[in-house]
Chains A and B, each alone.
Chain A
Amino acid sequence: MQQIKGLIFNVQRYSIHDGPGIRTLVFIKGCPLRCLWCCNPEGQLARPEVMYFRNYCTRCRKCVEVCPAGAIKLRNGDVVFDKNLCNSCGTCVEVCPNNARKLVGMYVTVDDILKEVLKDMKFYARSGGGLTVGGGEPFSQHEFLKELLWKAKEYSIHTAVETSLYTSTNLISGVMKHVDYLFVDIKHIDPVKHMKLTGVSNELILNNIRYVIEEGLIGPKDFVIRIPIIPNVNDDHENLKGISEFISSLKYEVSVELLPYHELGKHKYEALGRDYPLSSLTSVFIPPKEHMIKVIEFLTSLGVRIVNT
């Protein structure tokens, strides 16, 4: 039987920040949101792409010689990559001796992934870990997601999903049947601002969060809401208050994890030939510890239960 294929961009073993225990994290490629601070921009487009990391490149020109699309050119001794011409054939990636070119996005079957995931079974068993599917947006390939989780459960692997829940509500319960642990982001409480920051409104997301809880699709111990803290973007008291009001209106108390803004993904924009979207917002900064403590204190004073931050 032909298995459906999914598009993923990474499988990361020994992941210890994405659910209980020691886990393997599968990154689904493709996402309907465009968060300005996204640190995995290579997970956004639902097709394979080539990344070019200039700092590894020794200008050996091998790639220039082989590119059938003429997407890589030499200009004054420097290598220039025109993404628009590139058809992601991967030829240049093969010849590059420095790993300066990387093809992100591979089509794989569920069995391909499971093979990788099963490698660390013994570690899951000891640590209470398992598989986490993130991305990108896992629900953007919900059929594939469902099959992956279902098969993982056949091996009794603990499963977690990291999602924005920006997806049609009627797709959720089918997937959630196979999910043991769920992470959902709330990025902003105001629909208009949410639209500005992520490209979509948050109504669907908030409704889906409520839906998941009301329908009992996940228990309170296995549900974490994550709030990215982007200074001067979404960490104002008004927003935090709005989020906490939403959270306290839910049927049970959920734990909240804060994700302080970082710029570890910045170089990937360059590698993708894109501008870093937040660089226009000069008031953004990486929150120091004291800043985070203040946010935590504020949220706690509103009755929010913060974990793991």
Chain B
Amino acid sequence: MSFKGDKDSRALRIKLLKSHVLIDREIDVNRALLVTESYRETEGEPPPIRRAKALRKVLSEMPIHILDGELIVGNQSHKPRAGPLFPEWQVDKILNEMHSWPTRPGDKFKITDEEMQLLRKTLSYWKGKTVMDRVLTLLPDTCKRAMKYGVFSVYNYITSGHGHFVPDFEKVLKLGLNGIKDEVINALNNIDETDPYYYDKVIFYKSLLITADAVIHFAKRYASLARELAVKEMNLRRKMELERVAEICDNVPANPARNFWEALQSVWFILLTAQIEQNGLAVALGRFDQYMYPYYINDVNKGLLDDESALELIEAFYIKTNVINKVYDNEGAVINAGPALGQVITLGGVTRDGEDAVNELTYLCLKADAEVGLMQPDFAIRLHPKISEEFLVFLTKHIAKNPSKVKLFNDMAVIPALINVGVTLEDARDYALLGCSEAIIPGKTCSGGNFGQINLAKCLELALNEGRVMWYYDGKEFHLHPNNADVIVGLPTGNPEEFKTYYDLWDAFRSQLSYAVKLLVTTVNIIDRVQAELTPHPLFSLVTEGCIESGLDFTNGGALYNFTAPIAIGPITVSDSLAAIKYLVFDKEEITMKELMKQLRNNFEGGDGEYLRLRLIHESPKFGNDNRYVDEIASQVIRAYVDEISRYENPRGGRFVASVYSLTGNVSYGWRTGPTPDGRKGGEPLNDNISPTIGRDLKGPTAVIKSLSRIDSQLLPQGYIFNLKFSPSMINDDTKVMRFVSFIRSLLDFGIFHTQFNIISADTLREAQKHPERYRGLLVRVAGYCAYFVELSKEVQDHIIARTEHENV
């Protein structure tokens, strides 16, 4: 049966569907209660089975709904925009903080007193049993101390499952879950009984079978519901749609998709249930325009689909991605400002054979986003030298209208970076993005993306203070020279006043960094093992190449590629600081280490402090001005981090790799970091991602790009985030489009890994701050993702305003 839409009916439907999701968010308690009940029932069974059964219980008993106008169905929570809870990972913060969620500064969720009461009663079951509890009992004190003072943190993977994943959608669409089940059964029947891991493998395969059935059954629930609704439906057109939905949900994801609509629905069920399984963010959509293309073109050739109707389906699908919500605790709400989920759609790029992969669907996917304009999904556009001028012109016009929704990736940087860490050439060409800038091989990778965050600027603080923290943020107030007993979190690298050369300082920094990385790796690997033990991911494993073949869960090294990629925060603050000391203290000898240290210790307050601070700002070179002196230091800082992190292996048989971005962590880590020699006062934000420090790049975008090009992006398989200052006048008329196209080509020439834009005016943002109700849909790019501006905390809003202000001068 064909589905025919047109522009007007599409607009109406999109408006209706958007109104479902543009509402305040609230907490959904159902999942937490069901999971707890299931865990009580499965006490004593092996963890993989308990996980699978818990998911089965949730999927078969959670309330489901089909909203008016929906073409793609499947909900995460009882309401279109609610967040479920995942007590398996942490429970204390849920219980201690939930009362503050409706009113906290950012990322608000409504919750009623009755719900809180219910949760308090039920969730006490989890005390001492969560991933968080287990990790904390094992973690060495050195690691805990370093985290307390903001040297590093491990937020994501201790509070939820892995996430950071692209399922093998292509396989699901081709074989259906039944086809994959056959593979599992086959593997189960063929295990060698003498295999020393026979027991583990049997349990693992069983967990997969339970899970596959649970997902299939979940879809059937929607088929029945659609049928019920169709019977009651008076509107003939809608009645037919519902009947069609029922037919589709009967078929997928159990069986191969037969057409474009089914393919979309099947993808949605997998994405949705993967989220319900484990709550980790950045479960992404992979190379959507590639794996969906056969279904699109087949329908078009058969006359079942035209571009108008394809757009309507794609748009309905996009809106669906906005029903997924993640409830952060208060700390997480600060780090990951805005309800970002990193559900990236990757478009364009090269094929596995190295040819241009752009097709008709690539264009349609962008066009659909321009029509929908919601926060999710996010778009990663892969570019390469063979990309057509036609596509770049289209893309440029799209960026002019939707600047904050698109991020550009450079195949010429990403592919070698992946090959460099052991990915085959063809797989590397097939990469997709997830989360912020993490490039991974879809359906084959346990990425460990954003697994821990290290504060490079704190390492510098330690280098300048013999391994003791100079600054402490207790969550409410700043303390200069805290006199707690545990302030030694680094190594005794010597009195900075006695440093004779720049290299003494550099060595001290390197030592602190090396030590901090070691503590981070220790912590991260413990978490990795605890996840493998307590919270295996059978659904992830079903749709990841390598797991069925090896008999190992996704969390236990089953995937073909395994990485752990902690992110480095504040690299440019550090580079500017090192450059200031190198230049003014050691090269020019205009300032002594003694004077500098005196003022740093006083946070530049009193005496000549302010004078010195201004000199540090204005008289030494800053990253972002095409100045080799400091750019090379930046390159060395990144290289140092890469060298340190690459020494370690993770327990999944893979390696640690580097990435450099900060989400909005540059604000929260800034609170935790004392004054720095680049003239930044304690508590102020660190530099944003890998972008120059705000207000310090004075020579325009070409200079920024050249500075950035000196950082070896091929060392960073999971990328960096570069926010390009972008004035709307760059492409506000057609004559400027070609200039921008050429500019994009230049980004490729210079090997820039990632570029994104943010151009809303500061005045608009200030208005939005004052009248959030009027700016509900206002999107800004925060880091590697977009957020609704009005939902961000005041600090982050202020930071974005400051950034914008500077952009538009």
Contact = CB atoms under 8 A, between A and B. Distances in A.
Contacts of B750: 122
Given A14-B702, A22-B739, A127-B742, A122 B749 contact: yes
Interface residues of B, number: 24
A270 B795 CA distance: 36
Given A16-B736, A21-B739, A99-B618, A122 B746 contact: yes
B699 A13 contact: yes
B742 A14 contact: no
Contacts of B611: 60, 62, 97
23 contacts: A13-B703, A14-B699, A14-B700, A14-B702, A16-B739, A21-B739, A21-B742, A22-B739, A62-B611, A98-B614, A119-B626, A119-B703, A120-B706, A123-B702, A123-B743, A126-B743, A126-B746, A126-B749, A127-B739, A127-B742, A127-B743, A127-B746, A308-B735
B554 to A, nearest CB: 43
A150 B324 CA distance: 62
Contacts of B730: 16
Contacts of B618: 97-99
Given A60-B611, A99-B618, A119-B626, A14 B745 contact: no
A32 to B, nearest CB: 30
Contacts of B743: 22, 123, 126-127
A169 interface: no
B631 to A, nearest CB: 12
B615 interface: yes
A119 B701 CA distance: 12
Contacts of A12: 700
Interface string B793-804: 000000000000
A82 B702 CA distance: 38
Given A126-B745, A127-B742, A308-B735, A22 B702 contact: yes
Contact of A22 (B614, B626, B742): B742
Contacts of A308: 735
A308 B614 CA distance: 41
A73 to B, nearest CB: 20
Closest 10 A-B residue pairs measured CB to CB?
Answer: A14-B700, A97-B614, A127-B742, A126-B742, A14-B702, A126-B745, A120-B702, A126-B746, A13-B700, A97-B615
Interface residues of A, number: 20
A116 to B, nearest CB: 9
Contacts of A13: 626, 699-700, 702-703
Interface centre among B701, B735, B742 (most CB of A within 10 A): B742
Contacts of B735: 308
Interface string B722-754: 000000011000011001001101100110000
A119 B709 CA distance: 13
A126 B701 CA distance: 15
A176 to B, nearest CB: 26
A62 B699 CA distance: 27
Contacts of B699: 13-14
Contacts of B746: 122-123, 126-127
Nearest to B730: A16
A128 interface: yes
Nearest to A126: B742
Interface in A3-39: 12-14, 16, 21-22
A123 B614 CA distance: 33
Interface string A102-132: 0000000000000000011011001110000
A90 to B, nearest CB: 14
B742 A128 contact: yes
Interface string A46-72: 000000000000101010000000000
A14 B703 contact: yes
Contacts of B614: 97-98
Contacts of B729: 16
Interface string B749-784: 110000000000000000000000000000000000
A243 to B, nearest CB: 24
Contacts of B610: 58
Contacts of B701: 14
B496 to A, nearest CB: 23
Nearest to B748: A126
Nearest to A308: B735
Nearest to B735: A308
A99 B742 CA distance: 35
A99 B743 CA distance: 31
A14 B614 CA distance: 27
Contacts of A60: 611
A229 to B, nearest CB: 19
Contacts of A21: 739, 742
Contacts of B706: 119-120
A14 B702 CA distance: 6
A257 B615 CA distance: 43
A292 to B, nearest CB: 14
B293 to A, nearest CB: 30
Nearest to B617: A97
A276 to B, nearest CB: 21
Contacts of A123: 702, 742-743, 746
Interface string A264-282: 0000000000000000000
Given A14-B703, A97-B611, A127-B743, 14 more contacts: A13-B702, A16-B729, A16-B730, A16-B739, A97-B615, A98-B618, A119-B702, A120-B702, A122-B750, A123-B702, A123-B746, A126-B743, A127-B742, A128-B742
Contacts of B700: 12-14
Nearest to A307: B735
Nearest to B749: A122
Contacts of B739: 16, 21-22, 127
A160 to B, nearest CB: 15
A13 B746 CA distance: 15
B685 to A, nearest CB: 21
A58 B730 CA distance: 35
B693 to A, nearest CB: 16
A62 B608 CA distance: 12
A140 B312 CA distance: 63
Interface centre among A21, A58, A126 (most CB of B within 10 A): A126
Contacts of A126: 742-743, 745-746, 749
